[in-house]
Structure 1
Amino acid sequence: MNEDITIALPSLIHRIGGSAAKQAKDMATQYGCELKRVRRSRNWQLVGDAINIQSFAAQLSGQTNNEFAYLIKKLNIALLEHSDKLEPLAVKLVRLLTERPSTTLAELIQSTGCTEAEARVARFEADS
């Protein structure tokens, strides 16, 4: 469930500048993400857990200068594609059960990859 996602950032240095890229790289490390070049090309990528990337994007948005606008835009677009990884598993299970109460435990386990115990707890929370 805690799979890392990779966000492509083509021509990052040309768009935000070298010093801003170094600053963003240091900030990404603080949030458990890795901002790095793709081999020897001019393209960069951000690798990390979806929740950590969301926290990193929020930190970038809080900066007073506008030099991170391109990076913030790319991160927000990429996070929309991974919205399922932004909510915790327990919340996701309860949401799925409230949307379709007739879902069996086996279907829930197969679709989300949770354990049987987690599915039973979610069923109990959804029913109460």
Structure 2
Amino acid sequence: MGKKADKTNVMRILDKKKVKYNYYSYDSTKLKFVDVANSRGQDLAMTFKALVIVGKSKEYYVFMVPMENELDLKKAAKVAGEKSLEMIPQKELLSVTGYIHGGCSPIGMKNQFRTFIEKRSNCTNKVCRWF
């Protein structure tokens, strides 16, 4: 019998709510999430990344965008009602969210932040994947 994987915050929350999910792991120091998604045959348009952003007001936001896309910070600022936004430094990610780079999820963060998810017409019948 193999070693049981440590559960993440999101896994514990989904278990508590009795939500079915699949768990995949990879060594983010050796692979990029795009390579992992491609190797699994996942549609990059249906696989989202969580980007943690800070506004001029010092408020934090999470933007979920397809892995194949980049976040337009000017458009994101307008949606969030901020004058400007910028990515938080990677070294601050763990202290702000409780997650490390490559494993960030809007579910289970240390603090709840306003989260914006890019609407995709092909995501209507299921929750899309995210890294």
TM-score range, shorter chain: under 0.3
More helix by share: 1
Q: State the TM-score, normalized to the length of structure 2.
A: 0.25
Structure whose CA Rg is larger: 1
Q: State the TM-score, normalized to the length of structure 1.
A: 0.25
More strand by share: 2
Structure with the bigger RCO (C-alpha within 8 Å, sep 6+) is 2
